[in-house]
Structure 1
């Protein structure tokens, strides 16, 4: 029950830390700041600055791609739901052994049944391929955006404040 009480506090903390760093769409999609970098040093400096500056937006991109990956792979969604739901149901409804006729069904035997069915189903849904697709797609989008967007004027002031100028 203590976990349920901490959910609003956790969501408030998440909103204050992560969601406050999301830049407005007008700034994130500013087509006037798009330019081809001159050399690899400029690419590296742009990626370094923009990944920090737009970190909230990039996190949102990863989240959207993860939801898209789950929606487009219904077998993965079903297998995750089966495993997570089964785990929760066993913990909630069967903490003690249950007598069914001549057999005693324990929590351990329920977990074995859950994993005997759930793990092959999960393997069949190819979560590793989905994970690598998510890493590759998000990396490509983030690095492409970060390399093409020129840092704003505020990046020059950030260098002066940190004493790196």
Structure 2
């Protein structure tokens, strides 16, 4: 139960900090602000500003690409369902040792069996290829958007501090 409360607190903290910077779709996909940067200095300054300004939107893009990557790799999906489902079923239903004939099966035996089957299945699913694809696709989408999207007028005042 305590784990559930910690997960809820973590999710609430994530929502308050990271997703609070979520910008409206109209601002994120504003085609009137798309232009080619004049030089690399301008491109780097756009990337720096836009990655901070649209960080919540970029996290949603990464999440959507991750969901797509797992759904597109069915072997990885099956391996993850097997491992996560097996882990939760063992925790829920096999808390006490089970007596089958003369043999006693403990949680340790069940976890060993789960990992002996699940880890090779996971390795066969090529998770590293999926991770590298996710990193590459995310970087391509985010850097292209951040480089081509012209910062708004408010970016000029981002460095000016309020005088009291």
What TM-score do the two structures reach when normalised by structure 1?
Answer: 0.91
The alignment partner of 1:104 has SS state of strand
Greater CA drift, 128-137 or 152-161: 152-161
- The reply to whether residue 80 of structure 1 matches residue 80 of structure 2 is yes
Aligned match of 1:20: 20
Aligned match of 1:148: 148
Aligned match of 2:115: 115
Deviation at 1:13, TM superposition (A): 3.5
The alignment partner of 2:104 has SS state of strand
Aligned match of 1:96: 96
The whole-number CA distance in structure 2 between the counterparts of 1:19 and 1:47 is: 19
The whole-number CA distance in structure 2 between the counterparts of 1:46 and 1:132 is: 25
Aligned match of 1:37: 37
Deviation at 1:19, TM superposition (A): 2.5
The whole-number CA distance in structure 2 between the counterparts of 1:157 and 1:3 is: 43
The whole-number CA distance in structure 2 between the counterparts of 1:149 and 1:65 is: 21
Aligned match of 1:158: 158
Aligned match of 2:56: 56
Greater CA drift, 128-137 or 95-104: 95-104
The whole-number CA distance in structure 1 between the counterparts of 2:12 and 2:112 is: 38
Deviations 1:97-146 (A, max 9, x none): 21100111111111111011101111111111000000000000000000
Deviation at 1:5, TM superposition (A): 4.0
State how many pairs are aligned.
163
- The reply to whether residue 68 of structure 1 matches residue 52 of structure 2 is no
Deviation at 1:2, TM superposition (A): 2.4
The whole-number CA distance in structure 1 between the counterparts of 2:27 and 2:46 is: 15
Where structure 2 has 5 or more consecutive residues not aligned to the other structure, the ranges are none
Greater CA drift, 149-158 or 6-15: 6-15
Greater CA drift, 135-144 or 96-105: 96-105
Greater CA drift, 102-111 or 2-11: 2-11
Greater CA drift, 63-72 or 95-104: 95-104
